[in-house]
Structure 1
Amino acid sequence: MAAWHSSASKLNVSPSSAPVCILLIFSFLVALHRFAGGRLRSRLGSRLPLPPGPKPLPIIGNAADVPTTMMAQRFKEMTDKHGEVVYLNALGQPMIILGSHEAALELLDKRTANYSDRQPSAMRELAGWEWTFVLMPYGLPWRRRRKELHQFFHPNAILQHQPLQQREALKFLKNVIEKPDTFSHQVRHSFASTIMRIAYGIKVIDEKDPYVEAIEAGSAAFTEAFVPGAFLVDTFPILRHIPGWFPGAEFKQKAAAWKKIAHNMRDAPFEMTMESLVKGTAERSIATTIIEKARRKECSDISAEKIIARDVSALAYAAGADTTISTVQTFFLAMTCYPEVQAKARAELDTVVGSTRLPTFEDRGSLPYITAVAKESIRWQSVAPLGIPHRSLEDDEFRGYFIPKGSAVIANLYAFSRDPRVYPDPETFDPERFLKDGKINPDVQDPSTFAFGYGRRICPGRHFAEASLFIIIASVLHTLTIDYAVDDGGKLIIPEVKMTDGVLSYPLPFPCSIKPRSPEHIQLVHTGLAQPD
């Protein structure tokens, strides 16, 4: 009965109430039907064993084994015990947990045609995220949006964004120098400002810009709405039809609130850009480029193209920005806890860049230690610990095991980042693990090979995200000193290294001291900002 109590708690109701009992009985019957159907194995499945995993219970299977908190850590414990490919069956839903990068690479990358789908999600539509291709099923709508995003974020395309990225880094430095206690907010504001300019041609000036606030609210809603297993309606989609007043239907009220937030994030800045386009004052952006290209094609359906432009512009934020925001916050945490790393990075910057200018993208190849700091910031704390589950389109065989059609395939990125075979002493922040003879060691696995996903579902904004991360880290270390905060008694405050629990993970708020290295470094920032935009 523990699994049923768990399910009831996800509905935010007491399992003792009569209406909920009705729901649970109904769920039980649906699970029984799904379980029976799941036993009808294909010819492939009849001659192959399923991957190992915890022993299932009758009817509910492994529902009680699926963790509701710290999922990545608990799944890692499973793969450590049972092997790097683990099978669960939760209420009839087959799940494959991948505990190694090699297994994920083989399935999700090399067999991407079979593993590019997403699990059906009732919350996707209920919470207003039907437009985001991150959750879209594999098909033409997804491919079209992916294609449009790629043209703006492939390695050559992002070069045009470098001047804007460098300028936003300067604004970030200025804001942190003036208000160091707000550095975490400034990180998010900086990236939101950058992406608003690229996606919509909108210049963000005020810190309380409504469009930036809309993006921040949307990101927070997404993180809360799509925690795996958080809502029973994703397991039993028929529950979406129960009325909002029905006991146990609180998820519908939450979803309705999230839908307004998600659609406002998608629509408000786009509508502003379309108004500017009509007036002839719009700056070139992702949105205007797609619309103008459609207008040049006589056969184009402009209304359909507007939907594509609207969706792709909003998706641009998710195509690397949220990942980078968390990683930059993690970088500040690491620099607070590892002053010796900061000292080595600063020595490299002083040698290569000097004291009369700020680092630029042209310095990237000459700053291997800074590059290593960026890689270790990605690895040290996982931004998306479990990624977004893939879905198998057909039955498959892997290492002698049967992978059923319709399986949710979860790549445990957290486990990959903690693999001691690849990253010895994984809990320690150590950029030198990526270096050999003063250069980046190509024999050490780059965490970017798994942190941004796999196959056709790999994040299209990864190159932009890595470029943003480099210029922020280089700029911060060249101009600022990050140190432990001090309490009223003069004692150092050692921050706790802990991340939030969710689809996207961020460092919990932590105290630190941030000061400019010298008045001369402050002047470098102001001189840079004085240049024409």
Structure 2
Amino acid sequence: MVREWRRAPLPPGPRGLPFVGNVRDWPEIGDQPKVFAEWAKKYGPVVHVCVMGQPFVLLNTWTAAHDLMTRRSENYSDRHCNTLIHDDKLSGYGGWHLPMMPYGAKWRVFRKHFHSLFRIQEVEPMRPAILDLSSEFLHHLRNTPNDFRQLIRSYTAKSISKFVFSHDQPLNTEDPYLTLNDELMAEFNGYFFGNVFLVDVFPFLKHIPASWPGAGFKRFAIQHKKKVQDLIDGLHNRLQLAIANGTAEPCMVTRSMEKAAQATGVVSAAEEQLIKCNAMLSYAAGTDTSASVLANFFLCMSMYPEVQKKAQEEVDRVTGGTRLPDFEDREALTYISAVLLESIRWHAPGPVSIPHKSVKEDIYMGYRIPAGSVILGNVAEITHSTDFYENPSEYQPARFLDANWQIIPELEVPIQDAFGFGRRVCPGRHLALESMWILMARIIATHNIGKELDANGKEIEPVIKFTGGVTTHPEPYGCHITARGKIQVD
């Protein structure tokens, strides 16, 4: 076995240069899904590249991704420690940010706390608040339809903020913390994941003074870290003020504080920091991902009127066209559920998984995967695989339904990859799916979404382009949105 292990070759991949490896081949973040898929066609589902001495293993099929990151999760749940992102002297995400935190005892504590708060049993009591929020969205959409992208952004933020911080604010008002969060997410996607830094190759560079020439990365990271702490403290302090004023309702943070204080009557500094960090993280991550899917939904409703018509017919059949859909209608509204799944699949909000890392050397498909390899799942390729979906570039919700108009479980499985793999799957997915499903159902019931019109009333074909980053969004586009039916949305 030892001899076989030593003989095992690395997975195939493009040939690199001496010392720097495949640094010239490595694609920009927005091009990664396409380039990784092209490599897979040439080399197979498991591809190896090496960049500046760091091995990368790219998984381009559902089977390969789940064989490693799910079935062998004990070895593949760690995170690659990017110095600029993780080190406390720089951005410091590795010490508190659950998706970026190294696998280990501290991660398990944070993960257990996060999971306990976002279980489906905890989310279901939030349904009345989600219904109220979706009705508020419809009201503003009816009055200011051209602001639908801003409304999406506010809706996703408020659905999280209400659950986590008990914060209630009209959708059409600006929240300074949402603005700060958007700024941080743009920096995270565009700067940290959109560039390669020498400090990640030579970690000792983190010790050079920030004032030195060439230390722009350090100045940027320190400023970014301060803004992150401002968001963590600001969201928490706003809730504490509401508690002091007697206006706060029970929420994720208050329940966590009460539970932490049960044993001794006080909340330790470490417990408070855990609660604050997980609360801010749920706000930041949940807002961005759900906004991406809802933006896909509006875009595809405008481009595929036949899909929109089918969805409207289903809603009208169930509700009689006289009321808004409710969560109790979910079993009957299977086409709406398929619309949600297809809005995720058509362009996954995270086209490439957040990097995993192998703890120990491993053998897979006869290939040797070195310890410390960065493992990337090509989510975009998996959710567009012809092994699961015919005509994957088309938006066809009916692909998820069988002859009895029920969701086909086997086709739903790859969509779950949009929320992560194995032990790193997103704990907040239940709240995200609940809030997106009801909003889509209610928009379909009350509005028609068409392509943007020019000054002469002619349709403008949307340009389908997406931003690059860990989470991607459709680039700005317009829609022509009008009211339908007799349902009151006020």
Residues 393-418 of structure 1 show CA distances to partners (whole Å, capped at 9, x for unaligned) of 11111011101100000001011122
- Given that 1:187 and 1:329 are in contact with CA atoms closer than 8 Å, whether structure 2 keeps it comes out as yes
Aligned to 1:58: 18
* Counterpart check, 1:156 vs 2:121: yes
State the 4+ residue runs in structure 1 displaced beyond 4 angstroms.
Answer: 42-45, 278-281
8 Å CA contact 2:118–2:431 kept in 1: the answer is yes
Q: CA deviation at 1:318?
A: 4.4
The structure number with the bigger radius of gyration is: 1
Which residue of the other structure, out of 200, 223, 230, is the alignment partner of 2:189? Answer: 223
Q: Contact 1:375/1:446 (CA < 8 Å) preserved in 2?
A: no
Which amino acid in 2 is paired with 1:325? A
Does residue 49 of the first structure (1) align with residue 9 of the second (2)?
yes
| Pair 1:143-2:103 in alignment | no
SS class of match (2:435): helix
- Cα distance in 1, alignment partners of residues 231 and 197 from structure 2: 23
Decide whether the 8 Å contact of 1:291 with 1:302 is kept in 2.
no
**334, 346, 355: which is aligned to 1:380?**
346
- Conservation of the 8 A alpha-carbon contact between 1:482 and 1:513: yes
The answer as to 2:94 corresponding to 1:127 is: no
Please list, as runs of the form range in 1=range in 2, the aligned pairs for 1:468-487 lying within 5 A after superposition.
Answer: 468-487=435-454
Indicate if the aligned counterparts of 1:434 and 1:441 stay in contact, CA closer than 8 A. yes
Alignment of 1:137-286 (within 5 A): 137-205=102-170, 207-227=173-193, 229-278=195-244, 280-286=246-252
Aligned match for 1:405, one of 340, 354, 371: 371
1:97–1:412 contact (8 Å) kept in structure 2: yes
2:331 alignment counterpart: 365
SS in structure 1 opposite 2:409?
coil
Identity %: 38
Answering whether residue 53 of structure 2 is matched by residue 86 of structure 1, we say: no
Residue 9 of structure 1 aligns with which residue? none
Q: Using the alignment, how far apart are the partners of 1:474 and 1:358 within structure 2?
A: 8
> Where does residue 473 of structure 2 map in the other structure?
506
Find the aligned partners of 2:462 and 2:261 in 1 and give their Cα distance. Answer: 54
Matched, 1:77 2:41: no
* Larger deviation, residues 158-167 vs 401-410: 158-167
Calculate the TM-score normalised by the size of structure 1. 0.87
Q: Distance in 1 between matches of 2:317 and 2:248?
A: 43
Give, in whole Å, the separation in 1 of the partners of 2:256 and 2:360: 35
Question: For residues 378 and 483 of structure 2, what CA distance do their matches in structure 1 show?
Answer: 39
Q: Secondary structure at the match of 1:316?
A: helix
CA-CA distance at 1:137 after TM superposition? 0.5
Query: Relative to 1, partners in 2 of residues 1:450 and 1:509: Cα closer, same or farther, differing over 3 Å?
Result: same
Q: State the match for 2:385 in structure 1.
A: 419
Provide the rounded CA distance (Å) in 2 between the counterparts of 1:59 and 1:116. 28
Which amino acid in structure 2 is aligned with residue 214 of structure 1? L
How many Å apart are 1:55 and its aligned residue? 1.1
Query: What does the per-residue CA deviation read over 1:122-165, in whole Å, with 9 as the maximum and x for residues that have no partner?
Result: 22242353421110101222111111111121122211111111
In 2, the alpha carbon distance for the partners of 1:174 and 1:501 equals 32
Equivalent residue, structure 2, for 1:288? 254
- Name the amino acid aligned to 2:326: T
Equivalent in the alignment of 2:429: 462
Q: What CA distance in whole angstroms lies between the structure 1 residues aligned with 2:318 and 2:200? A: 53
Distance 2:142 2:3 in 1: 65
Cα distance in 2 between the residues matched to 1:443 and 1:283: 40
* 1:421 positional shift: 2.0
Structure 1 residues 442 and 309: CA distance shift in structure 2, 3 A: closer
In the alignment, the residues of structure 1 paired with residue 246 and residue 262 of structure 2 have an alpha-carbon distance, to the nearest angstrom, of 17
Contact 2:159/2:435, CA 8 A, preserved across alignment: no
My pick for the range that moved more, 81-90 or 418-427, is: 418-427
- Aligned residues of 1:290 and 1:305 also touching (Cα < 8 A): no
Retained in 1: the 8 A contact 2:110–2:274? Answer: yes
**Stretch deviating more after TM superposition (445-454 or 412-421):** 445-454
Contact 1:499 1:508 in 2 (8 A): yes
Q: 2:411 aligns with which of 421, 440, 444?
A: 444
Q: In terms of mean alpha carbon deviation, does 404-413 or 253-262 score higher?
A: 253-262
Report the AA paired with residue 439 of structure 1.
Answer: Q
Contact preservation (8 Å) 2:76, 2:357? yes
Q: Quote the RMSD (CA, aligned, Å).
A: 1.9
Distance 1:341 1:302, change over 3 A: same
> CA-to-partner distance for each residue in 1:461-502, whole Å, 9 max, x for gaps?
112111112111101100111001111233210101211111
Alignment gaps of 5+ in structure 1:
1-41, 527-533
- Partners of 1:44 and 1:402 within 8 A in 2: no
Q: Is the 8 A contact 2:156 2:286 kept in 1?
A: no
- For 2:447, the aligned partner's letter is L
Partner of 2:457: 490
| 8 A Cα contact 1:330 1:507, kept in partner | yes
Q: Which residue is equivalent to 1:22?
A: none
Which is worse superposed, 312-321 or 407-416?
312-321
What count of residue pairs does the alignment treat as equivalent? Answer: 482
Kept after mapping to 2: 8 A contact 1:226/1:503: no
Q: Are the aligned partners of 1:422 and 1:445 in contact in 2 as well (CA < 8 Å)?
A: no
Normalising by the residue count of structure 2, what TM-score does the alignment of the two structures yield?
Answer: 0.94
The 8 Å contact of residues 189 and 468 in structure 2, kept in 1 or not, is answered as: no
| CA deviation map 1:268-319 (0-9, x unaligned) | 0101222343555432111111111122111876211111110111122245
